[in-house]
Structure 1
Amino acid sequence: MIHQKFKEFGADFLLLLVAIAWGSTFFIVQAAVNETPVYTFLFWRFLVAAILMGLISFRQLKHLTKDVCVAGGLLGLFMFFGYAFQTFALTYTYSSTVGFITGLNVIVVPFIAYLVFKHKASIFSLLGAMIASVGLYFLTLNSEIGFGLGEGYAFICAIMFAMHIVFTGYYSTKYNVYLLVCIQFVTVAFGSCLGGLFLEGTLMPPRVDSLLVHSIIITVLFATIFAFWVQTAVQRFTTAAKTAIIFTMEPVSAGLFGYWFANEVLSLSQVGGACLILSGMLIAELGVYFRERYRAQNQIP
C-alpha cells in the first residue's frame, strides 16, 4: 500500500510539472500565433515533435500493432479536435471565456470516466474539482458567459480534452508509451496539415524569424515531447479525475510566468482564483491519503 501511494504521489508531482510546462509556454505560444496562423504553427510544432519522437521510439517499433495504432490515433484525434474547437471558439467569443469553459473538463472527466470505464472518483476528487472550477472562474473569466456558438465550441473542446485524459489513463496501461505518444503527434500533425491547407490556405509561416524558431523549439521539447510523454507514462499510477484537477494548475502557472517574464498584471481576484485551484488540488491529493491513514490507525475496513 505504501509503495502504491508513493507511486501515486510521484505520478501526481510529475503531472504537476506537465501543467507547469504548458503554462510556462503559454505567453510564448501566444506571441508566436500573433504572427503565424494557428494550424500552421500546430502543424510545424507537432511535425517536428513526431519526427523527434519517432527517432526516440525507433527501438520500440517491434511493439507496433494495429491496436496500438488505433489507440494512439484515437488519442491524437481527441487532442487535435480539442485544439481545433478551441480555435473555432476563440473566433466567436472572448479568450477568457474559452479558457474558463475549457477548464471545466475538470468537472467532465469524472463523469466520462464513470460512464465509459465505471471508474468512480473519490469524494475528495469531486470536492477538489468543484473548488478548482470556482478558482478557474476567478482566474480566467473577465466577461460574462453567453450561450452562443463560441461557448458551444469551447464546451466541445472541454469534452475532447476530458476524453483525452480519460482514455490516456486507460490505454497507457495496455500499450507501449513511446508508440502511443508518437502516433498521437503524427495524428495531430496530419489534422493540422488539413486545417492549415483548407482553412488558412498554406502551411508556410508568413515569416520565419527567431520568435517562431524559438517558439517551435521550446514547445516541441517541453510542452509536447516532455509533457505528453510524461502524462502517458505516469497517468496509469493515478486517476483521471486527479489528473484533470492537477492540470488546472496550467492557467495558474501561465499567469505566474506572464507576471514574472511578460510584465502581465495579476488582479486580486485572479490571485484568489489561483489559491482556490491550489486548494482543490491539495484536497484531492491529500484527502484520500488521510482517510486511508485514519482507517488504518483505527482498523476500519
Structure 2
Amino acid sequence: MKSNTWQADGLLLVTAIIWGLAFVAQRAGMEHIGPFVFNTARFALGCLSLLPLVWLRRPDRHQPLLPLLGGSLAAGILLFGGSSLQQIGLIYTTAGNAGFITGLYIVLVPIIALFWRQKTAPYTWFGATLAVIGLFILSMTDDLTLAFGDLLELIGALFWAGHVLLIGWLCRRIDAIRLALGQFLVCTLLSLGSALIWERFEIQAITTVWIPIVYAGVLSVGVAYTLQVVAQRHAPAAHAAIILSLESVFAALGGWLLLDESLGPRGLLGCAIMLVGMLISQLPAMHRKPPPEAV
C-alpha cells in the first residue's frame, strides 16, 4: 500500500473518531435548540474555520469557477439533506442508534454505484442482508414498526451515501478546500432558511449549548469534513466508507460514556450484526485499486 494511501487512511480514521463523538454533541444540543438552528450554527462555524486556509492558499487560476459552483451546490444539497435528517432523528433516538444506522451508507455506496454501471460483488449483497437483519433487531418496535427517529436516520443514510460518492468524484477535479467551504456555505444557507421558516432563534438558548455547537462546528464540520475531502483524493469511495463506518462504534462508545445511554442485549446484538454486515460488504473494496487522478 502506498504511503499516501496510508496517510489517507489515517485521516479517515481521525475523521471517524471526530464524527462518532459528534453524535454526542449533536444529541446534547437538541435539549435547548431546534435541529435547523443547530445546523445553521455548526456549519457557519465550519465555514469560518476554513476561511484562513482559503485565504492562505493560492487559488488555481486555471481552474474554472463553474465546476466549483456546481459541485459545491450539489454536495451542499446532499449534505443538508443528510445532516438535517440526522439532526431531527437524534431528537427521537439515541446517539448510538443514530451512529450505527447512519453507518449503513457504506452498504448503500456500492449499491447506488450500480446506476453508474459498476458491478456489485456477492460480498456486498451478503453484507447488505446482514446489515438489514441487524437494523431490524436494533430498531424494530414490539409491533414490528420502525422507530420514527431510526427511520429518519435510515433515510439520511441515503443522502450520506450519495455524498460520499459525489465527493469521491469531485475531489479529484476541484480544489478540496474550496469545495469543502462551498458545500458548507450551501448547507448553512439552506439550514438558515429552514430555521427561519420552522424554528426560532434564541440567543440565550444558543449560548447554553455553545460547547456542543463549537465541537460540531469546528471539529466535526471544519476539520473532519475537510479531512474527508482531502483523504478521498487517495482512497476510492468504497475504501473510504469502510473506515468512516467506524464512526458508529465511536458514537455508541461516546453515548455510553458521556450520555449514559445503554443499548441493552437486543441493541448490542443488532449493532454487532450491522457492523459485521458493513465490513463484509466492503471486502472487495480492500483489493480494488483507486482510480487515477484527473489531470
State if a TM-score over 0.5 links the two structures. yes
User: CA, structure 1 residues 112+286, in 2 after alignment: closer, same or farther (shift >3 Å)?
Assistant: closer
Residue equivalent to 1:295 = none
Residue 102 of structure 1: how far off its partner (Å)? 4.5
Structure 2 distance, partners of 1:177, 1:90, is 29
Which of 59, 63, 66 is the aligned partner of 1:62?
A: 59
Asked whether the equivalents of residues 71 and 171 of structure 1 are also in contact (C-alpha less than 8 Å), the reply is yes
Asked whether the equivalents of residues 106 and 133 of structure 1 are also in contact (C-alpha less than 8 Å), the reply is no
SS at match of 1:263: coil
Which of 39, 44, 47 is the aligned partner of 1:47?
A: 44
2:84 maps to amino acid: A
Residue equivalent to 1:193 = 192
Asked whether the equivalents of residues 249 and 277 of structure 1 are also in contact (C-alpha less than 8 Å), the reply is no
Residue 38 of structure 1: how far off its partner (Å)? 1.1
Which of 259, 268, 272 is the aligned partner of 2:269?
A: 272
Residue 197 of structure 1: how far off its partner (Å)? 0.6
1:193 maps to amino acid: L
User: CA, structure 1 residues 145+250, in 2 after alignment: closer, same or farther (shift >3 Å)?
Assistant: farther
Asked whether the equivalents of residues 166 and 240 of structure 1 are also in contact (C-alpha less than 8 Å), the reply is yes
User: CA, structure 1 residues 291+205, in 2 after alignment: closer, same or farther (shift >3 Å)?
Assistant: closer
Unaligned stretches of 5+ residues in structure 1: 293-301
Alignment root-mean-square deviation, CA: 3.5
Residue 90 of structure 1: how far off its partner (Å)? 7.0
Asked whether the equivalents of residues 168 and 236 of structure 2 are also in contact (C-alpha less than 8 Å), the reply is yes
Residue equivalent to 2:205 = 207
Asked whether the equivalents of residues 104 and 278 of structure 2 are also in contact (C-alpha less than 8 Å), the reply is no
Residue equivalent to 1:82 = 82
TM-score (norm 1): 0.78
Asked whether the equivalents of residues 102 and 158 of structure 1 are also in contact (C-alpha less than 8 Å), the reply is yes
Unaligned stretches of 5+ residues in structure 2: 290-295
**Structure 2 counterparts to residues 151-162 of structure 1, below 5 A:** 156-162=155-161
- Of 82-91 and 265-274, more deviation after overlay is shown by 82-91
Asked whether the equivalents of residues 17 and 250 of structure 2 are also in contact (C-alpha less than 8 Å), the reply is yes
Residue 167 of structure 1: how far off its partner (Å)? 0.4
2:80 maps to amino acid: F
Asked whether the equivalents of residues 35 and 206 of structure 1 are also in contact (C-alpha less than 8 Å), the reply is no
Residue 149 of structure 1: how far off its partner (Å)? 8.9
Q: Which has the higher helix share?
A: 1
Asked whether the equivalents of residues 108 and 159 of structure 1 are also in contact (C-alpha less than 8 Å), the reply is yes
Asked whether the equivalents of residues 43 and 184 of structure 2 are also in contact (C-alpha less than 8 Å), the reply is yes
Residue equivalent to 2:224 = 227
- Of 254-263 and 223-232, more deviation after overlay is shown by 254-263
Does structure 1 residue 175 correspond to structure 2 residue 174?
A: yes
Residue equivalent to 1:119 = 118
TM-score (norm 2): 0.79
Compare CA radii of gyration and give the structure with the larger one.
1
Asked whether the equivalents of residues 45 and 218 of structure 2 are also in contact (C-alpha less than 8 Å), the reply is no
Structure 2 distance, partners of 1:285, 1:158, is 16
Residue 86 of structure 1: how far off its partner (Å)? 4.3
Residue 154 of structure 1: how far off its partner (Å)? 5.3
Does structure 1 residue 73 correspond to structure 2 residue 73?
A: yes
Same amino acid, percent of matched pairs: 26
